[in-house]
Structures are given as C-alpha cells and as structure tokens.
Amino acid sequence: MPYKKFEEYSMQVTDDVKDRYKKIIEDLGEDTKRDGLLKTPERAAKAMQFLTQGYEQDPVEILTSAMFKESYNEMVIVKDIELYSLCEHHILPFFGKVHIAYIPNGHIVGLSKLPRIVDVFARRLQVQERLTEQILDCINDTLKPQGVAV
C-alpha cells in the first residue's frame, strides 16, 4: 500500500493565515506568483498550525490517560526529552533537552506521557522559563507527587 500522508488542519485558519503570509511575502518585495512561491503561503500557514498545535491539546488529559495507582515512592526520571518550540518574541525556533524527575505519591504515569506533555507546551509560542513552569505545574497538579523537578 502506498504511503498516505494525513494532515488535519482547520481550513478556515489555513485560508486566513495563508492570505496574511501572502501579503507579508509581497510586502517584503517578492512575487507570490513566482513558481517557487506559489504554494508557500499555504505551506507556511499549515506549518504554523503544526508548530502551535499545543493550544488545541490538553496535557492533563494526556497524563490521566495513563495514570495508575501505585505505592512506588522512589524517584522517576526521564532524561533528554527533545524539545522544539517557537520563541514568542520573534517567532523563531529554539530547541533543547528537557529532564523531568518526580517522586510518586500514590500515582505513577506511563513514561511516554512525559515527553508528550513537553511537546504540548512546546507547541505554543513560548519562553523557556514559562515552558518549564507549565510542565512542572501540570505534573504537580495532576499527579500530586511528593516532589517534581523540570
């Protein structure tokens, strides 16, 4: 079976943002009718929706979908979680690694959920300090661990 690419974007948002990108490209002095730029406004609109999809996702729902009662009370650490985000000041990319540690207090969470909540918060216009705080608060408020560090 051939590879099928599936992307889900709001057509309303795509059209609105596409028109804005087209205007920006024109304002910069480019010809949006040039072959290489014909589909650029639409691609840029879809890319921006992908890069900011965290606004549409619920990190608490992600954590609670794999939260289990457990008496384990030793530190749980997930290191080197890749992070890709957009700086809210210039809408330019920043990237790095996140490490999360928590000490359970009656509940644990599936380890794959921690990178997923990092991605939810990273896929918003961000600053590193708020991103760190949002991840920490989400884990703290949802799991209610003895302690958490991000």
Per-residue pLDDT of the chain (150 residues; tens, 9 = 90+): 555 555 678 899 999 999 999 999 999 999 999 999 999 999 999 999 999 999 999 999 999 999 999 999 999 999 999 999 999 999 999 999 999 999 999 999 999 999 999 999 999 999 999 999 999 999 999 999 999 999
**Which amino acid belongs to residue 71?**
S
- Homologous superfamily (CATH) for 11-53: GTP cyclohydrolase I, N-terminal domain (1.10.286.10)
What's the whole-model pTM score? 0.89
58-149: CATH number: 3.30.1130.10
Q: In degrees rounded to 5, what are phi and psi of residue 105?
A: -135, 55
Q: What is the structure's pLDDT at 7?
A: 63
CA distance from start to end of the chain: 42
Domain boundaries, the chain: 11-53, 58-149
pLDDT of the residue at 8: 76
d(CA 107, CA 66): 10
